[in-house]
Amino acid sequence: MRKYPLPALSRLHTFEAVGRRLSFTVAADELCLTQSAVSRQIKSLEEDLGQTLFHRRHRAIELSSEGRRLFEAVTRGLDEISQCIAELRASTDTPQITVAASVAFSYYWLMPRLERFSERYPEIDLRVLATDQKVDLTQQGADIAVLHGDGNWEGVDARFLFGERVYPICSPVYLQQHQELQRPSDLLDQTLLHLDGGGTIWGSVDWQTWLVQQGVTGQPIRRGIRLNSYPMILQGVAAGRGVALGWSYITDEMLDSGQLVCPIENAIETKNDYYIGALDQVSKRPEVAAFLQWIIEERKVVG
């Protein structure tokens, strides 16, 4: 006698799909079967159990009380089997992680350092998702993300990276050609480069915010230049097209190297910071934990 006198797993799988969808037609589409094949499997299962699992209504079906009991049991069993199989596959697969960050952070901060991560963890397959849109870690697509805020996200293991310091930047040549640029109010008579379409990744700091915090309330005299990519902003600054706002974690190194200069030593610090975060359960995966520890070490090297 079989230890587990169960119906065929294929019929239980079909029953779970119909019970979840409450539709023979939709379940059939999901399972790539015909509606009649799904109906036959459910009828066969009902005959095997001697129970009515679904009440057939006009253009609708619903689980019977016996059907609900079976649905809960089958769902629990399939969930446990699926989780076990995923863990077994993960134990033999190459560990993979996807890191989401702004385009500028990915290009200017992360990419120059990734070689060190690869040298330390050559077995980890790392994917970088560069986006200036807000990342929702509860949705599929990213295991880890650079987040902007107060560090309090429910269910997220968030670790501090940088505070947010913002100040004006320009090229050395531009400053030499505009020696009248000495006070915050002098910026109103300069060509200002504006970042458009940054979503929430850059917080709420723009030229208007920065100028108001310096006590400057007038309107710019010259027409500015608007770009929707921060790397393009930095290219425009380096080419002497005007003055832009610099975020310290990206542009401090450019100031140290002399590539850019800060014409006015007035920085504002916001109440929000930048964090590296992963969902609590995801952060426990060995490859994710390794990346989180590595990036904090890299931040300390320059911080």
Please tell me whether residues 237 and 250 are part of one structural domain.
yes
Please tell me whether residues 216 and 136 are part of one structural domain.
no
For 115, the domain range is 96-161+273-302
Q: Give Cα 183 to chain centroid, integer Å.
A: 39
Q: Answer yes or no: is 78 within a domain.
A: yes
Please tell me whether residues 239 and 175 are part of one structural domain.
yes
Q: Answer yes or no: is 3 within a domain.
A: no
pLDDT given at position 265:
87
Number of domains in the chain: 3
Q: Answer yes or no: is 281 within a domain.
A: yes
List, in sequence order, every residue forming a beta bridge with 101; answer none if it has no partner: 130
Residue 46 confidence class, pLDDT cut points 50, 70, 90 = very high
pLDDT given at position 301:
61
User: Is the distance from CB of 101 to CB of 128 less than 8 angstroms?
Assistant: yes
Please tell me whether residues 183 and 261 are part of one structural domain.
yes
Please tell me whether residues 181 and 253 are part of one structural domain.
yes
| Residue indicated by tokens 């952060």 | 283
- Residue 64: which CATH number? 1.10.10.10
Please tell me whether residues 203 and 64 are part of one structural domain.
no
Please tell me whether residues 154 and 237 are part of one structural domain.
no
Please tell me whether residues 111 and 75 are part of one structural domain.
no
Does pLDDT of 147 surpass 60?
A: yes
Please tell me whether residues 30 and 88 are part of one structural domain.
yes
Per residue in 21-43, pLDDT (tens digit) is 999 999 988 888 899 999 999 99
Per residue in 128-140, pLDDT (tens digit) is 998 887 788 887 6
Using the 3D structure, point to which of 74, 92, 110 is the last residue of a domain: 92
Please tell me whether residues 227 and 191 are part of one structural domain.
yes
pLDDT given at position 300:
67
Does pLDDT of 192 surpass 80?
A: yes
Residue 272 confidence class, pLDDT cut points 50, 70, 90 = confident
Q: Answer yes or no: is 56 within a domain.
A: yes
pLDDT given at position 12:
92
pLDDT given at position 141:
79
Does pLDDT of 202 surpass 80?
A: no
47-61, 135-149, 278-292: which has the minimum mean pLDDT?
A: 135-149
| Residue indicated by tokens 């140290």 | 256
- Residue 179: which CATH number? 3.40.190.10
Please tell me whether residues 207 and 289 are part of one structural domain.
no
Average per-residue pLDDT in the chain?
A: 88
Using the 3D structure, point to which of 44, 77, 92 is the last residue of a domain: 92
- Cα–Cα distance for residue pair 183/171, rounded to 1 Å: 17
Q: Answer yes or no: is 1 within a domain.
A: no
> What stretch of H or E contains 289?
helix 286-302
User: Is the distance from CB of 262 to CB of 237 less than 8 angstroms?
Assistant: no
Q: Answer yes or no: is 4 within a domain.
A: no
User: Is the distance from CB of 42 to CB of 10 less than 8 angstroms?
Assistant: no
